[in-house]
Amino acid sequence: DGGITQSPKYLFRKEGQNVTLSCEQNLNHDAMYWYRQDPGQGLRLIYYSQIVNDFQKGDIAEGYSVSREKKESFPLTVTSAQKNPTAFYLCASSMGGDITRVNTEAFFGQGTRLTVV
Amino acid sequence: QKEVEQNSGPLSVPEGAIASLNCTYSDRVSQSFFWYRQYSGKSPELIMSIYSNGDKEDGRFTAQLNKASQYVSLLIRDSQPSDSATYLCAPFRGYQKVTFGTGTKLQVIP
């Protein structure tokens, strides 16, 4: 089945610890995204990547890092510099591309719920 | 001005009524628009895509797009309690980020 897989589903982080959230897709999508969602709030963009070995900061990139070494994978590291990391993290992918392109919908993984303990 | 604006709600409608959800966006570059539904604690799922001005119907859902007014809407006919969720609007801007509105919470009252 084609789709986006995020792991783990639940993650607990100790103060001062770095943790990495996994996101893998087999949809052959060029673009991948990471969003953060706090309770009762909308989606805020952390990082996005339109092509392998390239990525851009979103609206709330401080305290996070990413890599895009493979088309299928876009892991997110939550560093100790992120002071309030408890949130629901969502990874998405899309075909991306030119503004006139159709079928550019973004599809989401099931999310990772991160809690600081 | 926010890139994408939606009324946060909650929007309450009785079962069987039409629910109308609205979204405005700030730039004229966007050509494609998507509506997502998100149940509490779950990830968003795509329910409608629209690329051209006018209406697009899919079952009980109708998306309406007016690029001149920078406005997109979603109508849900014969609303059901299972439609109770948050609805997110997202314009696509090509080689750029996909930005979501904050979403409108819909409550369908049995």
d(CA A11, CA B1): 35
The yes-or-no verdict on residue A102 having pLDDT over 80 is no
Measure in Å the smallest separation between the Cα of B18 and chain A Cα atoms: 24
pLDDT at residue B30 in the model: 73
Q: DSSP E strands: which ranges in chain B?
A: 4-5, 11-14, 19-25, 32-38, 45-50, 54-58, 61-66, 71-76, 85-92, 104-109
Tokens 């979403």 locate to B103
> What's the pLDDT tens digit per position in B21-80?
999 988 777 778 899 999 999 999 999 999 888 999 999 999 999 988 889 999 999 999
Q: Chain-centre distance of CA B92, in angstroms?
A: 13
> What's the pLDDT tens digit per position in A33-49?
999 999 888 899 999 99
pLDDT at residue B110 in the model: 95
What mean pLDDT do residues A44-61 have? Answer: 93
Q: Are B72 and B50 in contact (CB under 8 A)?
A: yes
Rounded to the nearest 10°, the torsion over CA B34, B19, A39, B45 is -40
The yes-or-no verdict on residue A86 having pLDDT over 80 is yes
- Does B30 or A109 have the greater pLDDT score? A109
Q: Which residues touch B40 (CB under 8 Å, ≥6 apart)?
A: B85, B86
pLDDT at residue B94 in the model: 64
> Would you call B49 an interface residue with chain A, using a CB distance cutoff of 8 Å?
yes
pLDDT band (50, 70, 90) for residue A97? low
Residues 58-87 in B contacting A (C-alpha not used; CB under 8 Å): none
A/B interface, count of CB pairs below 8 Å: 64
pLDDT band (50, 70, 90) for residue B101? confident
The yes-or-no verdict on residue A65 having pLDDT over 90 is yes
> Per the CB < 8 Å rule, is B100 touching A111?
no
pLDDT band (50, 70, 90) for residue B1? low
d(CA A71, CA A49): 10
Q: Are A81 and B25 in contact (CB under 8 A)?
A: no
Measure in Å the smallest separation between the Cα of B14 and chain A Cα atoms: 23
